[in-house]
Amino acid sequence: MSEVTAIAKEEDGGVSCLVSERVDNSCEKDFEETESKDEQESSSSEQRTNEEGSLEYVANVDVTIDSDNFQSRDGQNSEDVTEEEDGKKLESDDEDGNEELESEELTATCSLLGLEHAKVFIVKGEENLHVMFQTVKGNVQGTAVKLKGSMHDAAEKMQDNMHEASEKMQVMLKSTKENVTDAAGRVQVILKTAKDNVQESMHDAADKAERISKKAIYLARSGWYLLSHIELPEWLRDNDFLSHHHRPPMPSFRSCFKSIFKIHSETGNIWTHLIGFVAFICVMFYMFLRPISTSYPFPNGWQEKLVFGAFFAGAILCLGFSWVFHTVYCHSIKVSKVFSRLDYSGIALLIMGSFVPPLYYGFYCSRTLKIAYMSVICSLGVICTIVSLWSKFNTPKYRVLRAGLFLTFGCSGVVPAIHFIVAYGVTLAHRQAAIGWMGLMGVLYILGAIMYATRVPERWFPGKCDIWFQSHQIFHVLVVAAAFVHLYGICQMAYYRFHHAAVCE
């Protein structure tokens, strides 16, 4: 708030009017104190300027009344003086009126001057208000700029944070990729190491086999020793349930055949079929060389000799290939594969030769059926022989397949047996075809094949059947027994044909 004070003075030669203005800047100071600290310096400078403009000042205005006015006033005074004579009372009244007039003029003059100064102060107040408005506007604009700057800084900070997060994500992805690559590299290294280890193991095994082979050659000349199953080379590992007493590789046929008379895991396999082989050779020579009589009427004629010869050929070849294979299979891998194929071919030949005599004597008077069945059996025998010569057929992987093949081939004889029983009855089948003995033969063959495939009993007693009572030895014994049972049945058929029905009706 501002105050205007007018003081009138009488001086020599005129009247002076003192006008004082006092500006109360308390409101401005209160406003300025509420301004922000960021605008303190600019507002303080403006405040000092406003304070200088609003400081109390005294304006002395000399108002001089024109000399003409004072002269006229002096004239009137002189007239009044002259008129004093007329009446003192009138003169004193005139003086009082003049004084009142002068006082009123002075008051009017001071009022005019006060109005002028009030107008000036109003203008300055408007200017101050304008300055205040501009200051407030500047403060608002500054606050808006600061808010905008803060939002911009926040946006930049958020963008920086997002950029930093993106970089961290990229670093993480890169690290993950590097870890995956590293893991893949480690896996490759592990695989390569495993491959190298396997190759090294194979190389060591080959070296060990070579050393064993050389040692075997040396010991074959100077001594005898056996190996455990784990010490054998891969091509000699056939039965995992036989732990010890295996012959080492002996690349000498002389050493292999000398091992027949030594105790090892193949001793029983060799001698079971070697004895059967010699026995059937002896029986064959006996039957073919003995004189024909009523007591021994067969084989008489080329047909019966051919029929008996087919059976003896199958039995002798089967047993011969078998014992030779078990003798020399430790010679080398090549020799082992060759004689293994011959061994399985001998089984097929034995089955095929065993079918010929029963078909010949059973369908003795039915030439067409006899030729038909013999043709089918011979065809199946040739197929089994060809399969037996297949290189992969003699590996341990196809053990069950081999047993199944030969078992199926042997059981195919059930078809002509059933045909004969249906056509001629059970009684004639028993007498003429010796169906009982043929059935016993089949049971022995089947039982031997099952034990061969399942490797019983060494499967139940691992390590206890390394030398005797192996499944293969039992299989050999059953094969020899079945072959002799079959031979006895053939003789019974021949006796029946000679004594009861030599001529067909």
430 labelled ligand-binding: no
Q: Is the alpha carbon torsion for 149, 153, 159, 163 positive or negative?
A: positive
Q: How many CB atoms lie within 10 A of CB 216?
A: 21
Per the listing, tokens 């400078």 go with 45
Distance CA 316, CA 351 (A): 12
- Pick from 431, 316, 303: nearest CA to 362: 431
376 contacts 348 by C-beta, under 8 angstroms: no
In whole angstroms, what is the distance from residue 62 CA to residue 119 CA?
A: 20
Helix (H) or strand (E) holding 298: none
Residues 6+ apart with CB under 8 A from 168: none
CA distance 62 to 73: 19
Is 163 annotated as belonging to a binding site? no
Q: How many CB atoms lie within 10 A of CB 376?
A: 15
Three-class secondary structure of residue 96 per DSSP: helix
Of the CA atoms within 13 Å of residue 353, those in its CB half-sphere come to 23
| DSSP run (H or E) holding 30 | helix 26-33
Cβ–Cβ contacts within 10 Å for residue 233, how many? 18
Residue 62: strand pairing partners: 16
Annotation-wise, does 326 bind a ligand?
yes
DSSP per-residue string spanning 485-498: HHHHHHHHHHHHHH
Contact between 347 and 294 under an 8 Å Cβ cutoff? The reply is: no
Give the residue among 21, 95, 6 at the shortest CA–CA distance from 53: 21
Long-range contacts of 393-399 (CB under 8 A, 24+ apart): 393/341, 393/344, 394/337, 394/340, 394/341, 394/343, 394/344, 396/238, 399/452, 399/453
Cα(296)–Cα(360) distance, integer angstroms? 19
Q: Could you tell me if 417 and 441 are in contact, meaning their C-beta atoms sit under 8 angstroms apart?
A: no
Q: What angle do CA 293, 298, 302 make, to 5 degrees?
A: 120
Q: Given phi > 0 = left and psi -120 to 50 = alpha, else beta, which region is 58?
A: beta
Mark the binding-site residues for Zn(2+), compressed into ranges.
326, 472, 476
Annotated binding site: 326, 472, 476
